[in-house]
Amino acid sequence: MHATSTRDNSSESSKTYTATEISAALGLNLNRVYQMAREGRIPCIRAGKRYIFPRAAFDKWLSTAGNQTAA
């Protein structure tokens, strides 16, 4: 008997986004999402080799991204 995961993959119940979800939301290539994460341009947490995108931080960043002006 194999143990089954109890994690709900529904993005509605998760407190984080996956890189794939970020990619789809921004209309960017997955590699570009990882590049932006490495550069600190997208809010994320680094856990070893993984990038974790907190839903609240990303949603706030996305809602204010259009309000920034170029210097």
> Using one digit for the tens of pLDDT, what is the confidence trace for 17-58?
999 999 999 999 999 999 999 999 999 999 999 999 999 999
Q: DSSP string covering 12-63, please? A: TT-SEE-HHHHHHHHT--HHHHHHHHHTT-S--EEETTEEEEEHHHHHHHHH
Domain ranges of the chain: 16-64
pTM of the model: 0.72
- Confidence at 16, pLDDT banded by 50, 70, 90: very high
